[in-house]
Amino acid sequence: MPTIQHLLEKCKNMVSKPDSRRAYLLDVPQKYRGITGYFSNYIPEEIIAAAGLYPMRVIGFWDTSKSPQRSLFNPVCSFVRDVFLAASCGEFSFLRNIVFPNSCDSLRVLRQMWEYEIKKPKAYTLLHPINTDDSSVQYFTHQLKAFAEEMKKESGVYFTDAELKKTIDKYNQTRDLLRQLYDIRRTNTFLTGADAVALMTAGLILERDEYNSMLRQIIDEARQNSRDDKNLKRIMIMGPLTDNYALLDKIERFGAIIVDDDITNGSRYCSRDVEMTGDLYENIARRYLFADPSPTLNSSIKTDEQAFQRRINGLDLQGVIYINQKFCEPHVHNYLAKLEILKQSGINVLMLEIEHAGLDVSERDLLRIESFIEIAGRN
Amino acid sequence: MESSKSILAKIFAEYYLSGTQAKKDKQPVAYVTAFTPVEILRAMDVVCMYPESYAVVCSASGKAKEMIHSSRMGSFSQDLCSYSLIDFGTEHFGKLPFGGLPEPDMLIAANNQCLTTFLWFKLLAQKKNIPLFVIDYPVAIEDQDSVREYIARQYESLIDFVKQHTGHNLNTQKLNEQVTYSAKACDLWLKVHELNKHAPIRIDAYKIVDALFPMVAAKGTKMACDYYEALVSEHQHRNDVSSADSVRLLWHGYPMWFLAKKFPGDFDEKFQIVLDDYTLWWNLDYKSGTNDIDKLIPAYSNTYLNWPIYKKIDWVSELVKEYTIKGVICHANRSCRRALADIAPLRKELSKSGIPAVIIESDMANPDFYSKEQVNLRIESFRDTLRT
């Protein structure tokens, strides 16, 4: 059995090193009919996997050294610009297809540029709703069924509901295990926050059975080796896709521990399961529309505020670091919306705007982080 | 016939007074985004106010810079939509043009132009603690029945939402009147543009931009139709705007509201902008659909900014042919991410068909992103290209 260090190293490499990731993906088991890339938490991996395709979330850090220097205009967020450059360099040529969400304007720009300029692999758009009422559930259910048909045609695997159920079960297991990990991290500092985020992010790439078994081993060891370092400042991170291990590691080296998050590749990814009885597609629609919402979703403002308030109340936080990608508009608005709640709760907030591809954190930001952590929790 | 100038003044006054009067009469006021189906709201006696249009007024009156500063958005003021920043600035700004917009009782946003308007209105709803309704237009409708049904159900929910918050019912006769006038105004709006379809140019393109206001704020009214009829009638026989052999240019995208003539560059008789395609984005198609509500589904789904990329390129390319355009100036407006998607592809496609295009990076409302010298230099070198 691999050691925890070995597993975490694998996760970190998967997230931060394009070569390691590519090597792993090129070795994806032959039982799959190809790799389907996708963006956002609103693309159901369950359906892709049921069709015999290997779902791979597009995260950052690709090799753009062969860049043809084509780029998108500046107000488009840095993540999207990085992906466009990587796609222009052929970094996604090993994918069978790619699925776009109906999400923020930056991703819509990328979708259009994909159609015009990148062209391969073939792109789909899953037109999920931004509203969360009954008619949105009905509409999304219809879209999911159409999406399943597309994936079936793509792979030639015409899966049944019983087969879909098995796949849903696997993904429910992942979500359940990740939630257990969150519970542990609230009181147990066995895992650093940076390692935990690397572990969660790697799950967006790793083969599902391997990943679930990895999570079980880490959870077991964390429970058996519980630690509670009270000298560390308790920090929560918020933001969009946050896959910059180096940044999170640096935050914690200043004497902090990231005990929770509200990030795309974190708690929002694993909240709520898909129900297993009734219409499975409607259940998937409900799970995705009623899980902890992304700022691009029109969820109930009051319910969200109350849920967020309850969550931070139970964490004994000493500070929140909002890590936004430059020009990510939904998260600027989310930050502004949540700032008031955090201020009213007496929690200090640091906003960091980073270039997504920037593995190096600027000296200025490091100084800001250091002084923020130093004063965190003093008032 | 009453002059277009006089009708426009009335429309302007009526719009801004209607907001103030509504508050006095306790009539519900909604803030709406530019492509909200206001026909439904007006048929339920809701007074609709457009913060985006107000941001245009603020920018045109030279207040944008100070108002954006007043928005207290710090470094975000470099990143967000300048319309929203101007709107956030109104909260802390002293003397507002026309006294500002009345406080809204509800907010209605649509995502058929961008996600920004939804994010902006959601934040407003939270700050002001007022109800928000969002109309989701996932995509321009082609043959997608499920999308059409989804939007139809949202319209039903919108009617319920307004009824719940105002007690007002939908007046179907009023709705019919609204939709009929909206459709007629679109036909007339197209005629205004077509004044410049062939040489000589009958109306300055910036004057067409100035004439956009009724298409937005007086949608569904007879007065808007009267205005465009008068405008066409006043200009259709003019031939003193340019020389017959001027080089005809198309401005692609948002105008620059803070400039007196809305477009940069010192254009003379030899080089003239004959059309800004942005103003045609308001030319919605109300003709498909079996009833009035049904007509509002494709009309508001098939907005320019909701189109797929090739449809946008084809549409602009068609305008280039129809209006015998010799060169295109593309405005890469940093406020509007969604509008940026087509800039580079359009330039490439136009170039394939022998139409040169130049890209100017600036902003629709924030003069901080406008460098007169750089822009003029670029336009001058573009004119050199056209001369050769």
CA distance to partner chain A, nearest, from residue B383 (Å): 24
Enumerate residues 284 to 323 of chain A having a beta carbon within 8 A of any beta carbon in chain B: 295-296, 298, 301, 305
Query: Of chain B residues 291-310, which have a CB less than 8 A from chain A?
Result: 308-310
Those residues with Cβ within 8 angstroms of residue A336's Cβ, 6 or more apart along the chain or in another chain: B76, B123
Which among A210, A254, A230 is positioned nearest to A365, based on CA atoms? Answer: A254
Is there a single domain that holds both residue B257 and residue B369?
yes
Q: Is the pLDDT of residue A357 over 60?
A: no
Mean pLDDT, range B156-164, rounded to an integer: 98
Higher pLDDT, A228 or B4: B4
Residues B199 and B321 placed together within one structural domain of the fold: yes
Whether residues B248 and B295 fall in one domain: yes
* Structure-derived torsion over alpha carbons of residues B179, B185, B189, B191, reported in degrees to the nearest 10: 110
The 10s digit of each residue's pLDDT in B61-88 is 999 999 998 888 877 777 899 999 999 9
| Closest-CA residue of chain B to A336 | B123
Q: Name the token pair of A330.
A: 């939904």
Task: Pick A336's closest partner by Cβ from B81, B123, B335.
Answer: B123
- Asked if A61 contacts A202 with a C-beta cutoff of 8 angstroms, the reply is no
Residue A261 has pLDDT above 80, yes or no: yes
Residues of B within 8 A of A115 (CB-CB) are 308-310
Q: Is B104 exposed, middle or buried (0-12, 13-18, 19+ CB in 10 A)?
A: buried
The verdict on A119 touching B (C-beta cutoff 8 Å) is no
Q: Say yes or no for a CB contact (<8 Å) between B309 and A112.
A: yes
SS3 B169: coil
* CATH code of the domain in which B366 resides: 3.40.50.11900
Give tens-digit pLDDT for A133-190.
Answer: 999 999 999 999 999 999 999 999 999 999 999 999 999 999 999 999 999 999 999 9
Is residue B271 within a helix (H) or strand (E), and if so which, with residue range?
strand B271-276
Residues A297-339: tens digit of each pLDDT: 999 888 899 999 998 998 999 999 999 988 899 999 999 999 9
B-chain CB neighbours of A146 within 8 Å are 146
pLDDT digits (tens, 9 = 90+) for A94-131: 999 999 998 899 999 999 999 999 998 999 999 999 99
Domain CATH number, residue B141: 3.40.50.11890
Residue of B nearest to A106 (CA): B337
Q: Is residue A340 a contact partner of residue B88, using CB atoms and an 8 Å limit? A: no
Quick one: B124 and B236 in the same domain? no
Residues B208 and B283 in one domain: yes
Q: Tell me: do B117 and B184 sit in the same domain.
A: no
**Token reading at A112:** 């259009």
Give yes or no for B150 touching A (CB within 8 A).
yes
Task: Choose one of B171, B197, B221: the last residue of a domain.
Answer: B171
The total of other beta-carbon atoms located within 10 Å of residue B386's CB is 14
Nearest CA distance, A283 vs chain B (angstrom): 18
Q: Is the peptide bond before A121 cis (omega within 30 degrees of 0)?
A: yes
pLDDT of residue B241: 67
- Residue B266 has a pLDDT of 73
Contact list in A for residue B147 (CB cut-off 8 A) is 127, 139
pLDDT of residue B71: 85
Q: Are residues B179 and B32 in the same domain?
A: no
Nearest to B136 among A108, A130, A327 (CB): A130
Same domain, B155 and B178: no
| pLDDT tens per residue across span B323-349 | 999 999 999 999 998 898 889 999 999
> Which of these three, B171, B201, B222, is where a domain ends?
B171
A2 pLDDT band (50/70/90 cuts)?
confident
**Which percentage of chain A shows pLDDT scores above 70?**
95
Whether residue B205 is found in the same domain as residue B332: yes
Mean pLDDT computed over A269-275:
96
Q: Which of B113, B139, B171 is the last residue of a domain?
A: B171
Same-domain check for residues B167 and B194: no
Structural domain range at position B382? 174-387
Fold of A7-160: Rossmann fold (3.40.50)
Q: Compare CB distances from A301 to B81, B120, B125 and report the shortest one's residue.
A: B125
Which residue of B lies nearest to A131 if distances are taken between CA atoms?
B136
CB contact under 8 A, A113 and B345: yes
Instruction: Flag whether residue B341 sits within 8 Å of chain A, measured between CB atoms.
Output: yes
Give yes or no: residues B152 and B259 share one domain: no
Interchain proximity B150–A129, CB inside 8 Å: yes
Chain A, 81 to 100: residues with Cβ < 8 Å from chain B are: none
**Contact residues on chain A for B150, CB-CB shorter than 8 A:** 129, 135-136, 138-139
Q: Which of A143, A333, A353 sits opposite B119 (nearest CB)?
A: A333
pLDDT of residue B319: 97
Q: Is the pLDDT of residue B316 over 90?
A: yes
CB-nearest partner of A108 from B150, B334, B338: B338
Q: What is the pTM of this model?
A: 0.94
Determine, for residues A305 and B126 on separate chains, whether the beta-carbon distance falls below 8 Å: yes
Domain boundaries, chain A: 7-160
Nearest to B340 among A109, A129, A136 (CB): A109
What share of chain B in percent tops pLDDT 70? 97
Which ipTM score applies to this complex?
0.93
Q: How many domains would you assign to chain B?
A: 2
Q: Which candidate from B75, B122, B341 shows the least CB-CB separation from A301?
A: B122
Q: Which long-range contacts link B89-96 to residues 24+ away (Cβ below 8 Å)?
A: B90/B54, B90/B58, B93/B63, B93/B66, B93/B67, B96/B58
Q: Is B334 on the interface with A (CB under 8 A)?
A: yes
Within 8 A of B134 by CB-CB distance, chain A residues are 130-131, 298
- B window 155-184, beta carbon within 8 A of A: 157
B148 shares its domain with B201: no
pLDDT band at A370 (very low <50, low <70, confident <90, very high): very high
Residue B88 C-alpha, separation from nearest chain A C-alpha, in angstroms: 12
* Closest CA–CA distance from residue B138 to any residue of chain A (Å): 6
Residue numbers in A near B308 (CB within 8 A): 112, 115
Among B30, B21, B200, B269, residue whose Cα is nearest residue B131: B30
